[in-house]
Amino acid sequence: MIVRLEPIRTEPFVWEERLSFAPARLERPELLEISEISCTGRIEPLDSGWMLRARLRYEQVLACDRCLTPIRVAADESLEALLVVEPPPRGEAGEERELGEDELGVVHLGSDELDTEPLVSEQIQLAIPGRLLCRPDCRGLCPQCGADRNTEPCRCEERTIDPRWAALAGWRERQRDE
């Protein structure tokens, strides 16, 4: 949704929308599916710009980090940002610079129009957990054959021997026999 900010100078603007994103568009390989996103928000005028507060509700299916089992997760995220109509700060000679802590919640807009879709997309990406397990004792996949060790026993050797040391594999037993 495109929201014109200039008319929002005296009273808050409230909106509600539903957005859909293809998982591939969000560029997170662990995101297998995502439902329609219900977004409700409010933009309030301030002296220095506008304050955006929004709530996002959706369901997502993520892959377990160890065994790749799909996990359905309900999400209820909040989004808060200060909107300003000015270019982002630059370093020397127009180079990008690292933002200070007080600048992290500021969204710099090139015009008085706000496209809510990129903000929602970014918030969804940030809300995906860094590490997700289907259960605390997940045993993962066998690195040799790919079997899911939670559902079936793996028939591979537990320890693989480096082929360069294979000739020494039975050395200890041969020494005992002598």
Tell me the per-residue pLDDT of 8-66, one tens digit each, with 9 for 90 and over. Answer: 888 899 999 999 999 999 889 999 999 999 999 999 999 989 999 999 999 999 999 99
Q: From residue 174, how far is each of 157, 160, 166 by CA, in Å? A: 21, 20, 14
pLDDT at 94: 64
DSSP letter assigned to residue 118: H
pLDDT at 1: 87
pLDDT at 178: 72
Residue with tokens 């630059």: 90
Helix, strand or coil, per DSSP, at residue 175: helix
Q: Which residues neighbour 158 within 8 Å (Cβ) at sequence distance 6 or greater? A: none
Q: Is the pLDDT of residue 138 over 90?
A: yes
Which helix (H) or strand (E) segment holds residue 74: the answer is strand 70-85
pLDDT at 97: 67
Q: From residue 127, how far is each of 2, 23, 26, 130, 178 by CA, in Å? A: 23, 14, 12, 9, 63
pTM across the whole model: 0.74
pLDDT at 31: 94
Choose the weakest-confidence range: 13-17, 130-134, 138-142, 166-170: 166-170
Q: Which residues neighbour 166 within 8 Å (Cβ) at sequence distance 6 or greater? A: none
Task: Give the separation between CA 88 and CA 99, rounded to whole angstroms.
Answer: 10
Q: Is the pLDDT of residue 102 over 80?
A: no
pLDDT at 128: 92
- Say if residue 142 is exposed, middle or buried (CB neighbours under 10 Å; 0-12, 13-18, 19+): middle
Q: Is the pLDDT of residue 166 over 80?
A: no
Q: What is the pLDDT of residues 142-159, one digit of tens each?
A: 888 888 999 988 877 666
Half-sphere CA count of 75, side-chain side, radius 13 A: 28
SS3 content of the chain, % helix, strand, coil (to 5): 20, 35, 45
Asked if residue 53 lies in contact with residue 82, where contact means CB atoms within 8 angstroms, the answer is no
Asked if residue 14 lies in contact with residue 39, where contact means CB atoms within 8 angstroms, the answer is no
